[in-house]
Amino acid sequence: MQGFASQALVGRDPEIAAVLADLRSAELRGALVVAEAGMGKSALANVVSAKLGQEMPVHRIHASSALTGIPFGALAPLLPVLSAEETDSPLAVMRALLGRLRPAGEAGTAATPLLVVDDAHALDESSADLLSQLMASGRVRMLILTRSITDIPAGIPSQVWSGIISRHHLPPLTDTQVHELCSQVLGGPVLSTTSAELARRSGGNPMFVLALVAETRRAGALAERHGVWLMGANADPPQGRLGDLLKAQLSGLSSDEREAMEIIALAEPVPVAVAFKLGLHRSVDALTAANLVSVEDDGNRLLRPRHPLYGQLVRHMVPAARSARLRQRVLEIMPEDTESMDGLLRSVGWSLDCGAAVPDEQLLRAAFMANNFFDSDFALRAAREVQDPALLPAARVQKARAHFQRTNFDAAQELVNGTVEAATDLTTAKMGTLLRVQLGQRLSDAAQRLGAARAAWEAAISRIAAAADAAGTLDAELRTDIDSSRRGVALLGALIEVAEGNYRSTGVLVEGLLEEARAAEDTEAVMVATALMGEIHAGSGRSETAVHFTREALAIVTHSDHRFLTYYQFVLHRHLSALLWAGYWDEVSSSVHQDFATTSRSALQVGGTVDMCMAVMELRRGNLEAALPKLTAAIEGMRTHDPDGSLSLALSIAAQLAAAAGDTGRADELLADWDSLEPRGTAGTRVIARGNRLAAEYARTGDPRALTALREAAEQAEEHGLVAAEFELRCLSMSAGDPTTMNRLLKLSEDVQGPRARAVNIFARAVLDQDVSGLLRFAGESGESGDADAAALAPLALHEALRLAKAGGDRTQIQRVQRAIGKSSENTGAGRNAMAPPSLTRREKDVAALVARGYRNAEIAGRLFLSVRTVEGHIYRIFEKLGISRREELTAELVGE
């Protein structure tokens, strides 16, 4: 892997432009760039220096803490050998420096030199004063790089405050920028949630990102699979170069600062008031100034290590005996907080590390919370410590959840078996059922397994209620919980029906359950019911209505203090699906980046789902170049974690794209992968996956039977009321050049919500009306409107316009269409649109090439070992795809040979 200095600078274009503008400005004398170590100050200076090198002389000096006590020590590389008397004279040093920066004979004519000062916080006072004077006089411009402006000797900061020098700050890289950096370093597609996990752990610090990539690769946690980079679970303390970098940042701490850092890392988050009671206020100020500790201000000011890596390293370095002493000291001031999620996990984890006793109830709650945050290691550790026989079934469920998240499905199944039947409390019965549902959804007989889980849950509720009634403990609170559990049973039954595509009958049931849950203030049931309502509406073609429901469900998950993170994947998948159907691209991105950030530890589990969503979004926009890496990454991510059975859909879409691009080898590999899978997912997902598989087969072979089968699949979807799936299949048929689908597609597009349906409606109506002018107008306006769905249909509209114009024989109209096609090609460049006119298959290209060379049908049949009838069929489809009607129009250029 390349080092940071050799990487192309990522995510700093705005800062580079601003610094360049300021250094070229006649009103300013320089620019100051402030950022913590590793944020890319030096890399930015390299880019700026290279760009300004043709405009002005550029010189660079590096300040160092080793030279701080030496007068003019930082300037030594630019100074000639001076006598002791000259060294003691600032004037003599200034003359010598100017002689180097502005040689005699050039002072009046040459451009003002630029002096780049790295690590300016380590400048000695003499150098800083001299540089300040030179800058104030206008004899030099300066680009000053520092970790802290307050640590620079006074002359330079005063010019910053007075506005003579501009000030710039380098923020951490965003998740998107970290993804770009990782893709650049690793040289291939990276699962977006893998890069998101690296961004979380590094805090967006580029140096730490690169060190993390190197360390996780060395440890085997970051690995390449089928060309895609994916992250496995990794909780090891930082080692290797990464550990050295972190230790270097901590090396200059005093003993008091080190102790404060240890307490904050071990007890995070630490309220600022508690730190002050412990006498750590000066150390906290120093750690904050050094960017080692950050202060969260969300109503209760809390201290945390600046980056998770700092906390992980410090906790690893503190000996157990010292940790126990520090824990006792903290507990004297700050009682154990077991109410908040952070407080509970901190308290239990630190206690276990010190060998202190932890109540079983706290251990169980900690295991539950850790699983919610996908921290499987800690969940297993806490659950294994539970000793109370009455709590062991619940502990088994949490251990099973941890194994499920680790993809140890057999171990999870073995642990969860019998827990619902043995449960003596409603929570254990529910959690065991939810896990059985997750395990069952992975298999082809999901409906049967989910039905069995539902029956076991219902029996457990009745058994628990009867036992409480017999014992006289069936109070109002327990009755409310029982009612909530029975709503859960009903919703699970609805989930089974929805998965089978029974939208019409199930919608009324779920709507009633939602009203009931709202009246009872049963937030959990409201969340599940709104997610299901969203799925029902999206599957029925009412995507814009669906989004209103799924937004509410996701808001409950992300704003309920982590209570419902168990449902995160379930809700996220339905929300993203609704957004995609509705074409709400901006909200897709915000849901992926903002909502996902609140539950970032789920990165490894939802990675395939997220990248699949982003790939489909780019395809709908017609951006194939951006979609393919995402789709490739999604496939690999879903090979490990595919809770919703979307892998077959991803494979079929990828196969179709490969076949359409003429990459038959890749298409065959993907189709073989598809064929090896057992059918999974909802009825709608299975139907759309099969439709894309048939479209891929048709694009690969040109076999009309595949197109017929695709049409039949759409008719079956219509028969079963799978409106959204039928619409998708009809669109696939339309893209493949099937003229028989237009009437039904026109009717569907009037009932289906979303911009895609509106675009299809206009397009289909123009085709059916044989309105060439309307198709040209549609294609032209789509490019100007910014409507991605309309723009995606524009090439197909031009193709149909050309076909209709040639069929009509109007030469003026034909030329008009051809000009529009030529203009469109110039504007779009080489990128291929997701809804572009159907391309020729490899066999069709072979036939077309021979036709273009003048061979007759019988001769072509003999050369290609085909029947004459098969050749005639190929020629018919070639003419249809290319919008021509005579053999003379088929040129080598049109074939693309």
What's the confidence (pLDDT) of residue 649?
94
CB 116 within 8 A of CB 45: yes
What's the confidence (pLDDT) of residue 5?
46
Band (4; pLDDT cuts 50, 70, 90)? very low
Picking from 100-114, 570-584, 596-610, which range would have the lowest pLDDT averaged per residue?
Answer: 596-610
CB proximity list for 372: less than 8 A, separation 6 or greater: 562, 565, 566
In the predicted structure, residue 159 carries a pLDDT above the cut 70:
yes
Picking from 82-96, 432-446, 512-526, 637-651, which range would have the lowest pLDDT averaged per residue?
Answer: 82-96
Q: How far apart are the C-alpha atoms of 550 and 539, rounded to whole Å?
A: 13
Residue 634: Cβ-neighbour burial (10 angstroms; 0-12, 13-18, 19+): buried
Band (838; pLDDT cuts 50, 70, 90)? low
For the ranges 122-126, 738-742, 883-887, 889-893, the maximum mean pLDDT occurs at 738-742
Q: What's the pLDDT tens digit per position in 316-336? A: 888 888 888 888 888 888 766
Structural element, H or E, at residue 128? helix 125-137
Band (383; pLDDT cuts 50, 70, 90)? very high
CB 2 within 8 A of CB 218: no
Band (19; pLDDT cuts 50, 70, 90)? very high
In the predicted structure, residue 594 carries a pLDDT above the cut 50:
yes
Task: Say what percent of the chain tops pLDDT 90.
Answer: 35
Query: Is the bond preceding 269 in cis, omega lying within 30 degrees of 0?
Result: yes
In the predicted structure, residue 6 carries a pLDDT above the cut 80:
no
Q: What φ, ψ does residue 63 adopt, rounded to 5°?
A: -75, 160
CB 562 within 8 A of CB 369: yes
pTM: 0.81
What's the confidence (pLDDT) of residue 354?
85
What token pair was written down for 511?
């709507």
For the ranges 191-195, 487-491, 577-581, 630-634, the maximum mean pLDDT occurs at 487-491
Mean pLDDT for all residues in the chain: 85
In the predicted structure, residue 604 carries a pLDDT above the cut 80:
no
Mean pLDDT across the stretch 689-716? 92
What's the confidence (pLDDT) of residue 2?
44
Band (111; pLDDT cuts 50, 70, 90)? confident
Mean pLDDT across the stretch 128-139? 82
Higher pLDDT: 14 or 96? It is 14
In the predicted structure, residue 176 carries a pLDDT above the cut 90:
no
For residue 216, the number of C-alpha atoms closer than 13 Å in the C-beta half-sphere is 26
Angle subtended at Cα 517 by Cα 512 and Cα 523, rounded to the nearest 5 degrees: 145
Mean pLDDT across the stretch 484-500? 95
Picking from 115-129, 187-201, 820-834, which range would have the lowest pLDDT averaged per residue?
Answer: 820-834
Q: How far apart are the C-alpha atoms of 236 and 212, rounded to whole Å?
A: 11
Structural element, H or E, at residue 609? helix 603-620
In the predicted structure, residue 797 carries a pLDDT above the cut 50:
yes
Q: What's the pLDDT tens digit per position in 665-686? A: 889 999 999 999 988 889 999 9
Picking from 648-657, 781-790, 794-803, which range would have the lowest pLDDT averaged per residue?
Answer: 781-790
In the predicted structure, residue 893 carries a pLDDT above the cut 80:
no
In the predicted structure, residue 487 carries a pLDDT above the cut 90:
yes
Mean pLDDT across the stretch 125-148? 84
For the ranges 66-75, 437-446, 490-499, 561-570, the maximum mean pLDDT occurs at 490-499
Higher pLDDT: 91 or 885? It is 91
Q: How far apart are the C-alpha atoms of 341 and 339, rounded to whole Å?
A: 7
Q: How far apart are the C-alpha atoms of 230 and 633, rounded to whole Å?
A: 8
What's the confidence (pLDDT) of residue 428?
94
In the predicted structure, residue 533 carries a pLDDT above the cut 50:
yes
Q: What φ, ψ does residue 394 adopt, rounded to 5°?
A: -65, -40
In the predicted structure, residue 278 carries a pLDDT above the cut 50:
yes
What's the confidence (pLDDT) of residue 525?
96
What token pair was written down for 738?
């099937």
What's the confidence (pLDDT) of residue 784?
66
CB 184 within 8 A of CB 7: yes
As a residue count, the chain comes to 897
Among 330, 343, 200, 194, smallest CA distance to 263 is for 330
Q: What φ, ψ does residue 187 adopt, rounded to 5°?
A: 70, 30
CB 627 within 8 A of CB 663: no
The DSSP result for 756-773, as a single string, is HHHHHHHHHHHHHTT-HH
CB 354 within 8 A of CB 323: yes
Band (896; pLDDT cuts 50, 70, 90)? low
The DSSP result for 77-125, as a single string, is GGS----HHHHT-HHHHHHHHHHHHS-TTTTTTSPPPEEEEESGGG--H
In the predicted structure, residue 739 carries a pLDDT above the cut 90:
no
Using CA atoms of 521, 524, 527, 530 in order, give the dihedral in degrees to the nearest 10: -70
CB proximity list for 448: less than 8 A, separation 6 or greater: none
Q: What φ, ψ does residue 248 adopt, rounded to 5°?
A: -65, -35
Residue 239: Cβ-neighbour burial (10 angstroms; 0-12, 13-18, 19+): middle
Q: How far apart are the C-alpha atoms of 291 and 181, rounded to whole Å?
A: 23
In the predicted structure, residue 3 carries a pLDDT above the cut 50:
no
CB 685 within 8 A of CB 654: no
In the predicted structure, residue 154 carries a pLDDT above the cut 80:
no
Looking at the DSSP bridge assignments, the partners of residue 61 are 117
Long-range contacts of 460-465 (CB under 8 A, 24+ apart): 460/420, 460/421, 460/423, 460/429, 460/433, 461/426, 461/429, 461/485, 461/486, 461/489, 464/423, 464/424, 464/425, 464/426, 464/429
Picking from 246-260, 484-498, 723-737, 869-883, which range would have the lowest pLDDT averaged per residue?
Answer: 869-883
Mean pLDDT across the stretch 760-765? 92
In the predicted structure, residue 834 carries a pLDDT above the cut 50:
no
Considering Cα of 399, then 405, then 411, then 414, what sign does the dihedral take? positive
What's the confidence (pLDDT) of residue 833?
46
In the predicted structure, residue 84 carries a pLDDT above the cut 80:
no
What's the confidence (pLDDT) of residue 337?
58
